[in-house]
Copies of this chain bind each other. A is one copy, B any other.
């Protein structure tokens, strides 16, 4: 017997048509530094059609890559809407990649067109001569004349290019497995690796984002997308917002705590998403300049571990719930998210909220031991997290179809490189990245746990823990501390602060004070560079 159901393809063209019609009143607002410029999904739809016509006229065919080099703003959303809908593939370039990586990924993806914010032209101008496949550059909110085009590259004005085009477009309905977008990992080792999302994966991921056991925002929300559109699809917010008619608030290039808070005072977003570093900065700014931000009911936080102290501070001082989440570029990115289970209150609730969260039905997860065996979900057995599901990658993009880093895949499962355990009721707790694990005398010490605890200390702005060689124990932890401005603290005092939270053998004896933790292009602690500085003798270490 066969199902009688329609073979309807999940398609971002359908999503765009829906958003611009039945959800056409929802808005996109972009901060200008002094105020908001606001359009509707209806207007986004008209501009998307104009862009699609313009790109067709520039020769963009189905499957061709169209790149962006942009902040989060209205025009970036237009590109998000138009490019996959017309059958092309959106490649949002990470403007914070190291130069050689940026050039590598644009060439590797064979980007044909790059759409660039005017404010980023000076930076982009340095890369352009090295981009081998780019034929057209479209400048948004800027002067194309500022860019000297290499031979064979045409530079266009977004406004002029779109002005001449019709405001409707006959988008094709593609097979749902057709490529829709791509993103590269920003790993600190080796070349960045590409992931190619499909219409199907983006659609299903958007349905999960709006689910009440994930972000769960709806048409009444104003969603502040701080996490960049070039960073793992802005955690899926663009398409999810289109799906429920949630309005969007875009900070453009104004990402410092002061401007962010100024924008929030004007726009009063109800939901937001960003990495912990941003929230840390906002929290510090609020201490200096109090402001009511209780219009934000929920903030999703991921990308790296969220210190519980920060979560408490936001909730208790500002009435804002931080929602801890785990994911990666390879997982679209939504993996798990930390809503506590029914009935959990007080300390139990906080304990659940400090985990990386619970997996939804679409993301299968398992913990695998060093020997490759699947470990029980007992909340204790520690190993590498492996996941699978309809929005999780099966491989890395290879232009010639060859295998890229096959070691990251295990019989259909993605090896995440994250180390942790899963409770019987599906909550993930990460203890480390597999490459950051500290093994002391044969036992694991969680750098993440030490960092989280250390960041609860009033004098500490940031803390990062790495393993350093030790003759007796193989490895021992070294804590790198960034003190808050005007604060002082001694290693012995800091170690004492950890004393009742860890076993004695886990307490770090090596300490260093630095001005800043080195960060990756997406703002994560770059422990590889920290380890290199240690190896080079570049850190002044105090040993207790």
Taking beta carbons and an 8 Å cutoff, which residues of A are in contact with B? 1-8, 10, 14-15, 18-19, 21-26, 63, 65, 89, 177-180, 194-198, 200-201, 204, 207-208, 210-213, 216-220, 242-245, 247, 339, 341-342, 358-362, 364, 377, 388-397, 412, 414, 424-426
Contacts and interface: CB of A to CB of B under 8 A. Distances in A.
A397 B217 CA distance: 38
Which of A15, A388, A394 has the most B CB atoms < 10 Å from its CB?
Answer: A394
Given A219-B341, A361-B15, A424-B21, A394 B7 contact: yes
A447 to B, nearest CB: 27
A25 B424 CA distance: 10
A390 B212 contact: no
Nearest to A213: B244
Nearest to A206: B361
Nearest to A15: B361
Interface of A (DSSP majority class): loop
A129 B359 CA distance: 48
A177 B6 contact: no
Nearest to A404: B4
A211 B211 contact: yes
Nearest to A22: B426
A209 to B, nearest CB: 10
A3 B218 contact: no
B195 A244 contact: no
A359 B396 contact: no
Which of A7, A242, A361, A394 has the most B CB atoms < 10 Å from its CB?
Answer: A361
A491 to B, nearest CB: 42
Contacts of A394: 4-7
Nearest to A339: B219
A370 B211 CA distance: 39
A381 to B, nearest CB: 15
A24 B361 CA distance: 12
A363 to B, nearest CB: 9
B388 A6 contact: yes
B197 A393 contact: no
Contacts of A196: 1-5
Contacts of A89: 1
A220 B339 CA distance: 10
Given A5-B197, A361-B14, A341 B179 contact: no
Contacts of A392: 5-6, 8
Contact of A179 (B1, B24, B412, B425): B1
5 contacts: A5-B393, A8-B389, A21-B426, A22-B426, A212-B244
Given A211-B244, A212-B217, A219-B342, 19 more contacts: A1-B179, A1-B397, A3-B177, A3-B196, A3-B197, A4-B397, A5-B197, A5-B201, A5-B393, A10-B390, A23-B425, A25-B342, A204-B207, A207-B208, A207-B211, A212-B212, A213-B219, A220-B342, A245-B342
A14 B412 contact: no
